[in-house]
């Protein structure tokens, strides 16, 4: 490893990487660089520090680690050829999309190849409007796709916030605000093209197949969704599209207590209202938003809701039902709107939640955690988490995709302050354990990456982790694909 | 193998089983019977022919094969202990639920254990209404579950027709008429308890966990859904429940051509109508239904539709939109009803489709096939299939879950007529290849079992099958779990 980067490697990361790769001996990548150059051409092989730095981190709180070399293949054949060399030579290879992850999943922990997928040609290969599907290469982000298909009456709904690569979203099992209606990536993929560890090319549902359902063979597609680059490199995804709603409305509602807000969510789901977004902001988050965006919202537990339908009548009906439910749970007057400008104003608070939270401490960066619990455990989990924050003296806010029981804590932190970071990590530990003891999961959507490896074993137990490791060893016997991620 | 059963083994099955297990040497089960008796008690170990016969076939067209012994464990611990013995002794073990499959997935091909899951105690272990989930043991069928929860306002939607064991439905990735709105089993499972080949007990999402979503680790849950007992034995499933619709209506509509019927389906989906069921019957099926149920329906390509909503207004709105679409596609006057009695009358044709088809040839049994194609290829695939049937002179009908592109051909056959069965199998071959060349799959919902092994390789290619086999070998190195199924 270059001495240049040692000073910016965070202590925790180093400890983890030592623990992860104790017995595995990897070759150094340097001797294979001529091979990579002959496969890709010299321009697609970057060893300059400036380039490696661009691929050294994601948007999470882990400090950067520079890969040894950054490769930019332009075709699946080139990806396969590179991976074949890496497998022969036992060189770690880490796929890198847009770098918008939060748990270090695309970071290179070890001397090895960072395989940037952004240059793979083809982009949006095929749009099948009447079949509601589309084929995309890893260079395509979700916003690019939605811009491209804006005149078809269809859209791709999964929205993790960041404008991530769609293939990267497959690899990390992304979800976000409207998963409550449209599902996560898990529910929105038809087929995948994947380069395996030995350089062979797999089509998880057979080449070109895109039926809406199938009962043939093992579900390989979902095995690769959320595998975080540890089982193969996704080079094409066939995704499902949805009819774009012709009518929308949004609403804001404030509640005296967290429990009343969450109860409104449960009752809304029980009524079968196909709500598109139902987001929670705790009172500290609302206060931060008021200050940041110059709003005058009631500083109480708040729901921001969005309704989708094909007609205004349909959307109005949904808003009516949910408005009644919120009123019965002591919610404030239910402000709702179908006007674009007004909708945007109402969503301002939620959209700027992250920046508003950071602004609570000038110069701080964001430490964002993510857990998910059954909805009946949500109120008590949020209340306990708020109490923990207050007692610990941490300035954090709670926001969440509450229709799924998924919430985040955003903490504005100074990462170089070791004492503070200890307190933050201890809080994060307690949060995860609280979620696990409530029959939940240590991550609803951010993934395991490096940051949550220690919790995987607690969540799945030894048989669960062993089963995953057996699958990993069967498909990647030399452990070259993103080593040190998901499990140690 | 007992000579008693040789005479009822179908030629194709024998050929397959020879091909499947050429090198694998299994122990005979006889010497382990005392061990099974000590684990389960003598009453739970059946070697009598009468009992073995009950577990010798499913509802498909494959002729029976008697297992050597039928075991009826009452707990997951007993299942684990039995499987541990089987693994140590290299004895094949085949899980058997309600035996309502169609492709021989639960049939014992080899001297070995048939593990009946019906006696596992616990039934419906836990209903979490506000979290929309329920835990069930394999003894529970879908109708039993829906009866049990009828007062909760919730229901379990997946409906493959047969009153199958819910855990069996997980193992076979069942779906059915209302998958178009509620998804297949794939979309309706939160967590599984599975006994692995070595007798260890896996919780695919961690013990007791039931979050609505998670991004932690590999998606083991979906790996077991549809694995047909080849990767583990499912002993408990945590399933998702849905709000029971408060309002329903059904409609029938006849079309001049298959294309116009299918186009109406595509447009309905494009409009975002959350239709609950949209079933196709070809003109021969309608004619058979008329005769069988004394109806006077127009003998044309027909759609039977069902709408679900929370209010009559919502359902009326859906029916209005779809009625307009059908009219524009030259559909007949759109009869629809919200009256229970009237709804049942309208659905009679679809409900009795199978028996009506059989009644076309007195004394015949049903040979049912199943393929699925993208919706844009559905009309041409159905038209070509109808033409093939007519040209071949086979009396078959076409019915389908057309919102998913999934359709069945039901052929009344005389299985002992070898010449006829050759023609039937050749037709079925052409049907599958037609589906594959239309970017579809060889089975939308019936699974691979024994009957469709030969098509798996065509559909997935060598890398796909090899990947599945690697996973199988990693989790079941001695190939004791349902050997000879899914792949050879």
- Here the tokens at position A422 are 């200890």
What is the C-alpha separation between B184 and B170, in angstroms, rounded?
Answer: 9
- Least Cα separation, residue A70 to chain B (angstroms): 26
What is the chain B residue with the closest CA to A187? B187
- Least Cα separation, residue B200 to chain A (angstroms): 7
From chain B, pick out residues whose CB is under 8 angstroms from the CB of A488.
none
Let me know: does A436 contact A212? Beta carbons within 8 Å.
Answer: no
For testing contact with chain B, the best of A177, A211, A242 (most B CBs within 10 A): A211
Q: Do B273 and A206 touch (CB under 8 A)?
A: no
What is the C-alpha separation between A273 and A260, in angstroms, rounded?
Answer: 18
- Here the tokens at position B194 are 């599975």
Q: What is the distance between the terminal CA atoms of chain A, rounded to a whole angstrom?
A: 20
pLDDT of residue B3: 31
Rounded to whole angstroms, the maximal C-alpha distance in chain B is: 70
pLDDT (tens place) for every residue of chain A, 488 residues total: 333 333 333 333 333 333 333 345 677 899 999 999 999 999 999 999 999 999 999 888 788 899 999 999 999 999 999 999 999 999 999 999 999 998 899 999 888 999 999 999 999 999 999 999 999 999 999 999 999 999 999 999 999 989 999 999 999 999 999 999 999 999 999 999 999 999 999 999 999 999 999 999 999 999 999 999 999 999 999 999 999 999 999 999 999 999 999 999 989 988 888 999 999 999 999 999 999 989 889 999 999 999 998 888 889 989 999 999 999 999 998 877 777 777 777 777 788 888 999 999 999 988 999 999 999 999 999 999 999 999 999 999 999 999 999 999 999 999 889 999 999 999 999 999 999 999 999 999 999 999 899 999 999 999 999 999 999 999 999 999 999 999 98
Let me know: does B287 contact B356? Beta carbons within 8 Å.
Answer: no
Rounded to whole angstroms, the maximal C-alpha distance in chain A is: 70
**How large is the angle between the packed helices A33-40 and A76-89, nearest 10 degrees?**
170
For testing contact with chain A, the best of B180, B211, B223, B406 (most A CBs within 10 A): B211
For testing contact with chain A, the best of B76, B215, B372 (most A CBs within 10 A): B215
From chain A, pick out residues whose CB is under 8 angstroms from the CB of B225.
219
From chain B, pick out residues whose CB is under 8 angstroms from the CB of A372.
211-214
On the CB side of B29, how many CA atoms lie within 13 Å of its CA?
Answer: 28
Q: What is the ipTM of this complex?
A: 0.93
Let me know: does A52 contact A66? Beta carbons within 8 Å.
Answer: yes
Q: Do A217 and B131 touch (CB under 8 A)?
A: no
What is the C-alpha separation between B471 and B466, in angstroms, rounded?
Answer: 9
What is the C-alpha separation between A277 and B407, in angstroms, rounded?
Answer: 34
- Least Cα separation, residue B334 to chain A (angstroms): 21
Domains of chain B plus CATH, in order, are 18-119 (3.30.43.10), 124-243 (3.30.465.10), 247-438 (3.40.462.10)
Which of A217, A225, A243 is opposite residue B271, by nearest beta carbon?
Answer: A243
What is the C-alpha separation between A149 and A166, in angstroms, rounded?
Answer: 14
Q: Do B372 and A443 touch (CB under 8 A)?
A: no
Q: Determine if residue B206 is left, alpha or beta; phi over 0 gives left, psi from -120 to 50 gives alpha, anything else beta.
A: left
From chain A, pick out residues whose CB is under 8 angstroms from the CB of B432.
none
DSSP conformational letter for A230: S
Q: Do B375 and A444 touch (CB under 8 A)?
A: no
- Here the tokens at position A55 are 């691929």
- Least Cα separation, residue B28 to chain A (angstroms): 28
For residue range B149-161, list pLDDT tens digits in order.
999 999 999 999 8
Which of B174, B209, B405 is opposite residue A212, by nearest beta carbon?
Answer: B405
**Res B65 pLDDT > 60:** yes
- Least Cα separation, residue B314 to chain A (angstroms): 8
Q: Do A202 and B467 touch (CB under 8 A)?
A: yes
pTM (two decimals): 0.93
What is the C-alpha separation between B191 and B182, in angstroms, rounded?
Answer: 18
Distances in whole angstroms, Cα of residue B129 to Cα of each of B144, B399, B428: 17, 35, 44
CA angle A164, B190, A184 (to 5 degrees): 15
From chain B, pick out residues whose CB is under 8 angstroms from the CB of A448.
215-217
Distances in whole angstroms, Cα of residue A320 to Cα of each of A180, A326, A347: 19, 10, 19
């Amino acid at each position: 490893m270059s001495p240049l980067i040692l000073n910016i490697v965070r202590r925790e990361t180093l400890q983890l990487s030592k623990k992860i790769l104790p017995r595995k001996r990897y070759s150094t990548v340097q001797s294979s660089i001529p091979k990579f150059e002959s496969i890709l051409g010299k321009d697609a092989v970057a060893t300059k520090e400036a380039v490696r730095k661009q691929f050294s981190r994601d948007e999470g709180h882990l400090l950067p680690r520079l890969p040894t070399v950054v490769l930019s293949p332009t075709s699946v054949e080139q990806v396969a050829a590179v991976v074949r060399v890496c497998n022969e030579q036992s060189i770690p290879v880490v796929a890198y999309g847009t770098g918008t992850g939060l748990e270090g999943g695309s970071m290179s922990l070890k001397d090895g190849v960072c395989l940037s997928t952004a240059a793979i040609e083809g982009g949006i290969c095929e749009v099948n409007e009447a079949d509601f599907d589309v084929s995309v290469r890893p260079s395509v982000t979700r916003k690019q796709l939605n811009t491209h298909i804006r005149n078809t009456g269809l859209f791709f709904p999964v929205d993790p916030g960041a404008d991530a690569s769609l293939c990267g979203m497959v690899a990390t099992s992304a979800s976000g605000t409207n998963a409550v209606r449209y599902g996560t990536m898990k529910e929105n993929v038809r087929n995948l093209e994947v380069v395996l560890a030995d350089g062979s090319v797999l089509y998880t549902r057979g080449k070109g197949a895109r039926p809406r359902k199938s009962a043939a063979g093992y579900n390989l597609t979902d095995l690769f969704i959320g595998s975080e680059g540890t089982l193969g490199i996704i080079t094409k995804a066939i995704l499902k599209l949805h009819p774009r709603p012709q009518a929308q409305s949004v609403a804001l509602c404030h509640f005296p207590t967290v429990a009343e807000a969450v109860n409104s969510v449960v009752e809304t789901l029980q009524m079968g209202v196909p709500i598109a977004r139902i987001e929670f902001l705790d009172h500290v988050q609302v206060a931060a938003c008021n200050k940041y965006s110059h709003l005058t919202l009631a500083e109480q537990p708040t729901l921001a809701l969005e309704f989708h339908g094909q007609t205004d009548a349909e959307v109005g009906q949904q808003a009516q039902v949910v408005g009644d439910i919120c009123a019965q749970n002591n919610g404030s007057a239910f402000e709702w709107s179908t006007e674009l400008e007004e909708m945007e104003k109402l969503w301002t608070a939620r959209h700027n939640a992250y920046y508003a939270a950071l602004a609570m401490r000038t110069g701080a960066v964001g430490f964002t955690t993510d857990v998910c619990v059954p909805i009946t455990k949500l109120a008590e989990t949020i209340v306990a988490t708020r109490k923990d924050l207050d007692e610990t003296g941490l300035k954090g806010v709670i926001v969440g995709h509450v229709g799924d029981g998924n919430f985040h804590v955003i903490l504005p932190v100074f990462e170089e302050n070791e004492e503070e970071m200890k307190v933050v990590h201890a809080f994060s530990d307690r949060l995860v354990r609280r979620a696990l003891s409530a029959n939940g999961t240590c991550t609803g959507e951010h993934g395991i990456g490096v940051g949550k490896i220690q919790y995987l074993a607690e969540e799945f137990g030894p048989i669960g982790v062993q089963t995953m490791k057996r699958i990993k060893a069967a498909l990647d016997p030399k452990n070259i694909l993103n080593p040190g991620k998901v499990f140690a």
